[in-house]
Chain A
Amino acid sequence: MIQPVSATQDNLAISVSGSGGTGAVTVGLILLEAIAKAGFYGVMTRSFGPQIRGGESAVMLNLSDHPIETLAEFSHIHLALDWLKFERFSDEIPLTQDSLVIYDNSREKPPGLVENSGAKLIGIGLQNAVKTIKGSRMNMFALGILTQQIGLDLTFIEAALKRTLGKKGDDVISTSLEAIQAGMRMIPDSHYEKLSHWHPTQKPRWNISGNEACGLGALRGGLKLAAAYPITPATDIVEYLAPRIEKLGGRVLIAEDELAAMNMVIGGSFGGLPSMTATSGPGFSLMTEAMGLAIASETPALVVTVMRGGPSTGIPTKSEQTDLNQVLYGFHGEAPHVVIAPLNVQEMVTISQWSLGLAEALQTLVVEVSDQHLGQSRVIIDPIPPVDFNLKRLRPPATTSDYQRYELTQEAVSPIAWPGTPDTQYTADGLEHTETGKPSSMAKEHQQQLTKRAQKITQHNYGEHWAKVTETLNATVLVITWGSSYEAVRIAVEALNQQGADISLLGLRLLMPLQTEQIQAVAKDKTVIVIEQNASGQLFHYLLSDNAIPRNSQSIAEAGPILFKPSTVQTALIHCLEGLK
């Protein structure tokens, strides 16, 4: 008789690993969808070995009865379809004495690091079980075992199975279901039956990845062209768009390289329609020359960059907030532009729509910064209601004489003509130019146009979206963070505040133009701690250099690719606060 393992948190963390073809990812996808159908929330991340196909893979699910996007502190249940190269995942799948590890005992023994973790181990004959049901696969028995262990109703699994594997036909579904039911009987005692204590919601919810959310936001914003060159981990955005954008009158262009992709975006946008590309650090490097062209020619363009470990090829499949300097400063010349970073998957739809809208309205380059964790996490969220930002291109009046494309105006935004309109022909130029667009190297015109391009961005009223500020009464400390670090930091700060700390939190979305005065106002009379997932403290130094935060501010900066967890942030924060005393 195995004793139930005590659970300390209101989340339930499940991980599944196996070598290529064992179907660990499928187990995760079905389980996440089933949990959602049962009325709960969850987040799923994946990790792969370097092989293109057939490599080992793992999925990590963190489930709850409220919205959740952070990684679990440890796995409550880990199911190993086999142990091939499991060490690769040991950082991402922490096991403790509270973990339950279920594995196939007809093959290799658990590796030493698993045995040493103190986790409860249960070996079962998964491979032999497959022989009992013709055409069945091991992962479906595993799914059955997990279903039983967490006390999930089979009807939800069945519905999720049909949705996930429906295309494979009825035979596959019925065989799989048979295997799942057999799996449920393999370890009858339920060790982590947490679901019965949770409160299911009847509300509609979405099952969406960050990259999908980004694509959807762009579609909501009226995107008509996505031009891109494949790069991990950004390609999913374009793959999401490809079959959908056409239904909305748009299109995807596959470029020969990132240089082409960025120029296609500019050309498409010059044609009058919202256009974007999606890339990651190395691709962004190749695009920066043309991004300067978008800025100089005042052509609206959205670039989504999904950060990964760098520099160079770095760690393409893993996350790091390491390209902030690049998106802020990676340009030649004075290149005022907008940089925005969503704080979690939940807000990715709306922030992406906002980003595209800002590019259109301000006629400039907008860089939206995501990362591998945000982009490739699959999350159950409440549906995101549509919003109308009313951000559109300023068009010249119907009857225009003496049209000047780069006219100096009060708002510094000049009307942009729709090619095809008579009498407003102009030449967009990357050369410095006069108000009419005629090339010019005169100091006066350079300074006028430079100022115009900067002013239209700094003068814009960005409203409430510039940051997410959660102020605590009598706060003495302000924590500032950005992007995918936000969720872990938020939970850590909330936990510390519950223990009596007085910490305010600022999740910075609008990274450029920096809302210095607003940050200063929140930071006033507080000790500032900046938390980010990179080695050198890029955000910290950026805020310091602009005097947005006081000189005595503190930095918590840690390289990826192991992401922040609430506990690691909490420990670092406590350490930092003690150091200040």
Chain B
Amino acid sequence: MTHASQTPLEKITVKTVKPTEYLSNVHPVWCPGCGHFFILRALTKALAWLKLPKEQIGLVSGIGCSSRLPAYLNVYGFHGVHGRALALASGLKANRPDLTVLVAGGDGDGYSIGGNHFIHACRRNMDITYIVMDNEVYGMTKGQPSPTTPAEWQSKLTPQGTGVARFNPMGIALAAGASFIARGFSGDPNGLTKLMTEAIQHKGFSLIEIKSPCVTFRPEEKAWQKSMRSLNVSPSSNPAEAAKSIYSSDGFDTGIFYQADLPVYEPTNTPCENPADVLAEIEKELNV
């Protein structure tokens, strides 16, 4: 692994806002050594670096190990049902564009049961940051293959492997219209923090696909540490170039693959000064 050990971020984190201020007093249910711990740390560092007020953050999740995240942060959180976090977050952002809306989830939650919402959240390109903690397995239900699991991985459910090609989240996000697409690695918290700050600041739908080893059900994923390349990709605003780098990557490159200035869907949100008068006008249409 080629760790960029001296990123500017490491210095910036010791500023007035402490990352720990974003933590709640609930201890994670994750297994010791789980990659998600580092993602939680990177997220609090990113929020602190951006000095985002805790109460201005809406963090939405679905179901799964990673989706437990909202309870671990001292922000406005919503731990919803399996696969629907992006839809719930879209409703929140529509009503409350003033909030910084983040969504967290896993590969099963986002790419399988939530696949349709993933596509349409990309397409809507609302100003939402989607943090996917991809461990290529269903951990909470104790080790079943997810859409990103390699075809040959054997489990109780798939003794011969899945026999099905893997889902390409970043390729699909690009095709569906997301305007920020990055890959991160939980073993590179500084690189991850940087990606998160970029994603949150990006105006539009940001996907950060984070490889995060499941040490319990996929212990072989510990080896990712050796293969991951820290922030070696440079962003392109050209979808054709981005597609090339997404499809030519072996899955171990991290960084921003695509960042473009695309139309952001922002439903109207102009407060009504005189609702009684406007209602009276609307009701007038009904008069015979």
List A residues at the B interface (Cβ < 8 Å): 33, 36-37, 204-208, 212, 216, 219-220, 222, 224-225, 227, 244, 246-249, 251-253, 255-257, 259-261, 263-273, 275, 289-290, 292-293, 297, 380, 383, 386, 417, 419-431, 437-439
Any A CB within 8 A of the CB of B263: no
Knowing that A222-B275, A248-B279, A421-B55 are A-B contacts, what are 7 other residue pairs whose CB atoms are under 8 Å apart, sorted by A's residue number?
Answer: A205-B288, A249-B275, A264-B90, A267-B93, A268-B92, A425-B74, A439-B68
Which range holds the interface residue count of chain B? Answer: 35 or more
Q: For residue B117, give the distance in angstroms from its CB to the closest CB of chain A.
A: 6
Asked whether A383 lies within 8 Å of B99 as measured between CB atoms, the reply is no
Task: Given A251-B94, A253-B94, A260-B84, decide whether A220 and B279 contact each other with a Cβ distance below 8 A.
Answer: yes
Q: Which of A207, A272, A438 contacts B286 (CB 8 A)?
A: A207
Task: Given A219-B282, A289-B81, A428-B78, decide whether A272 and B287 contact each other with a Cβ distance below 8 A.
Answer: no
Task: Given A248-B278, A293-B80, A422-B53, decide whether A264 and B91 contact each other with a Cβ distance below 8 A.
Answer: yes
Any A CB within 8 A of the CB of B89: yes
Asked whether A427 lies within 8 Å of B96 as measured between CB atoms, the reply is no
Asked whether B283 lies within 8 Å of A225 as measured between CB atoms, the reply is no
Q: List 14 A-B contacts (CB under 8 A).
A: A206-B283, A206-B288, A246-B268, A251-B267, A256-B120, A261-B87, A265-B91, A267-B87, A267-B90, A267-B93, A271-B95, A425-B76, A428-B78, A428-B79
Asked whether A263 lies within 8 Å of B88 as measured between CB atoms, the reply is yes
Any A CB within 8 A of the CB of B202: no
Asked whether B288 lies within 8 Å of A33 as measured between CB atoms, the reply is yes
Asked whether A264 lies within 8 Å of B271 as measured between CB atoms, the reply is no
**Which chain A residue lies CB-closest to B61?**
A427
Q: For residue A140, give the distance in angstroms from its CB to the closest CB of chain B.
A: 21
Q: For residue B271, give the distance in angstroms from its CB to the closest CB of chain A.
A: 5
Q: Which 3 A-B pairs have the closest CB atoms?
A: A267-B91, A264-B91, A427-B77
Q: Which of B94, B116, B271 contacts A225 (CB 8 A)?
A: B94
Residues of B within 8 A of A438 (CB): 26, 71
Q: Which of A205, A255, A419 contacts B58 (CB 8 A)?
A: A419
Residues of A within 8 A of B88 (CB): 263-264, 266-267, 270
Q: For residue B76, give the distance in angstroms from its CB to the closest CB of chain A.
A: 4
Residues of A within 8 A of B117 (CB): 256, 259-260
Residues of B within 8 A of A247 (CB): 272, 278, 281-282
Residues of A within 8 A of B6 (CB): none
Asked whether A37 lies within 8 Å of B91 as measured between CB atoms, the reply is no
A380–B286 Cα gap in the complex (Å)? 10
List B residues at the A interface (Cβ < 8 Å): 24, 26, 53-56, 58, 60, 68, 70-71, 74-81, 83-84, 87-96, 98-99, 116-117, 119-120, 267-272, 275, 278-279, 281-283, 286-288
Asked whether B81 lies within 8 Å of A425 as measured between CB atoms, the reply is no
A269–B60 Cα gap in the complex (Å)? 13
Task: Given A207-B288, A255-B87, A267-B60, decide whether A225 and B55 contact each other with a Cβ distance below 8 A.
Answer: no
Residues of B within 8 A of A260 (CB): 84, 87, 90, 116-117, 120
Residues of A within 8 A of B275 (CB): 222, 248-249
Asked whether B75 lies within 8 Å of A425 as measured between CB atoms, the reply is yes
Residues of A within 8 A of B116 (CB): 256-257, 259-260
A225–B80 Cα gap in the complex (Å)? 19
**Which chain A residue lies CB-closest to B120?**
A256
Asked whether A224 lies within 8 Å of B95 as measured between CB atoms, the reply is yes
Q: Which of B91, B271, B272, B282 contacts A275 (CB 8 A)?
A: B91
Asked whether B286 lies within 8 Å of A268 as measured between CB atoms, the reply is no
A427–B73 Cα gap in the complex (Å)? 9
Q: For residue A487, give the distance in angstroms from its CB to the closest CB of chain B.
A: 20
A207–B288 Cα gap in the complex (Å)? 6
Q: Which of A33, A36, A263 contacts B80 (CB 8 A)?
A: A263
Asked whether B87 lies within 8 Å of A264 as measured between CB atoms, the reply is yes
Asked whether A271 lies within 8 Å of B99 as measured between CB atoms, the reply is yes
Residues of A within 8 A of B94 (CB): 225, 227, 251, 253, 264, 267-268
Asked whether A426 lies within 8 Å of B96 as measured between CB atoms, the reply is no
A266–B74 Cα gap in the complex (Å)? 20
Q: Which of B91, B93, B279 contacts A266 (CB 8 A)?
A: B91
Asked whether A423 lies within 8 Å of B55 as measured between CB atoms, the reply is yes
Q: For residue A348, give the distance in angstroms from its CB to the closest CB of chain B.
A: 13
